[in-house]
Amino acid sequence: MPLKHNWRDFQLYVITAGGCHPGRELVHVMEETLKGGAGMLQLRNKTGSRQEVLREAKELRALTRAYDVPFIVNDYPDIALEVDADGVHLGQDDQAIEEARRLLGQDKIIGISTHSLEQGLAAERAGADYIGVGPVFPTNTKPGRAAVTTSYVSEAARHIRIPFVAIGGITLDNVGEVLAAGARKICAVSAIVGSEDPARVCRSFLEAIRSAEAGGHAIRIRLNGKETTTSAGNVAELVEQLGQGNKRLVAEVNGMMIQRSDWTSAALTPGARVELIQFVGGG
């Protein structure tokens, strides 16, 4: 069943990592990321048996189809074909792009991990549909792999013509650096699936990406006790972004009550502590 939209429009790419959420079902965690707006999902299981990977692939194929989100299988073109995944992701030491293309056909997506501009350009010439650029920062999901830093992100933004996804050690605290280097598609693993609220973290990543696209600047604040990212410049803008403009709210910033008439002048700064409480009047 073909996707109903252009898969290249995704902004946030999420990869499975069962070790990051012990005690929580894989499908449940990944559905939370889709609820939060993840635009592409990859199954990556480096330690499980082929039978286990096939079972997970079938479950995630059904899930992603329900959300109309592209589904990619890491390392197993044959499993991608068997479950009718949208594509496969390969590393530098995996099956050649040309071989994967012969197996999967022209309509499937093939992504390639790259760690230098030379590798990125080679993947593009070989027919990759997108590349991963990373790891941007040191990460436990790629132990022993040296970080490529944001320098390669900047090079990719200037020279790579196919979509590229910045990946590796990216969190809400450092995504601004990656976006400033020119990335507009972000992949996060442990920062999302290892969090207590994957949907909320996905929304925060998307807010940062969209702010960068619009030429704005996202900041980190603590909203009702939880870290989040926003491009809002003041309390009024924050309330509107949250879709709460028609609610009766009490607002506090850094412990100070802000009158509604002052919301537009109550600037938000990095690290601000904001409390928004819905007021229910009594009779």
Is 44 designated active site? Answer: yes
132/153 Cα distance (integer angstroms): 10
- Three-state DSSP class for 9? helix
- The reply to whether 269 sits in an annotated binding site is no
**pLDDT value at position 257?**
93
pLDDT means per 10 residues in the chain (283 residues)? Answer: 86 95 95 98 96 98 98 96 98 94 96 98 97 92 80 94 97 89 95 95 92 79 86 87 85 93 88 88 52
Give the residue from 139, 184, 192, 135 showing the smallest Cα distance to 164.
Answer: 184
**pLDDT value at position 244?**
82
- The reply to whether 94 sits in an annotated binding site is yes
Helices (H), 105-163: 117-126, 149-159
**pLDDT value at position 280?**
67
> Do 41 and 181 fall into the same domain?
yes
156/120 Cα distance (integer angstroms): 8
- Selecting among 142, 185, 200, 203, the annotated active-site residue is 142
**pLDDT value at position 283?**
45
- Selecting among 61, 108, 113, 200, the annotated active-site residue is 113
250/275 Cα distance (integer angstroms): 8
One-letter identity of residue 159: H
| Percent helix, percent strand, percent coil in the chain, to nearest 5 | 40, 20, 40
One-letter identity of residue 108: K
- The reply to whether 95 sits in an annotated binding site is no
- The reply to whether 260 sits in an annotated binding site is no
**pLDDT value at position 281?**
60
Strand order in the sheet with 256-258: 226-230, 219-223, 273-278, 249-253, 256-258
**pLDDT value at position 142?**
67
**pLDDT value at position 183?**
94
* Residue at which a domain ends, from 215, 244, 261: 215
The answer as to whether 87 is a domain residue is yes
> What's the CATH number where 249 sits?
3.10.20.30
How many structural domains does the chain have? 2
**pLDDT value at position 282?**
52
One-letter identity of residue 68: D
- Selecting among 24, 35, 44, 58, the annotated active-site residue is 44
> Do 161 and 232 fall into the same domain?
no
> Do 238 and 134 fall into the same domain?
no
Residue range(s) defining the domain that contains residue 240:
226-278
Is 113 designated active site? Answer: yes
- The reply to whether 43 sits in an annotated binding site is yes
Measured from the Cβ of residue 91, the count of other Cβ atoms closer than 10 Å reads 14
- Three-state DSSP class for 154? helix
- The reply to whether 211 sits in an annotated binding site is no
**pLDDT value at position 180?**
85
**pLDDT value at position 241?**
80
- Contact predicate 163/129, CB 8 Å: yes
- The reply to whether 190 sits in an annotated binding site is yes
> What's the CATH number where 199 sits?
3.20.20.70
Token code pair at residue 92: 């530098």
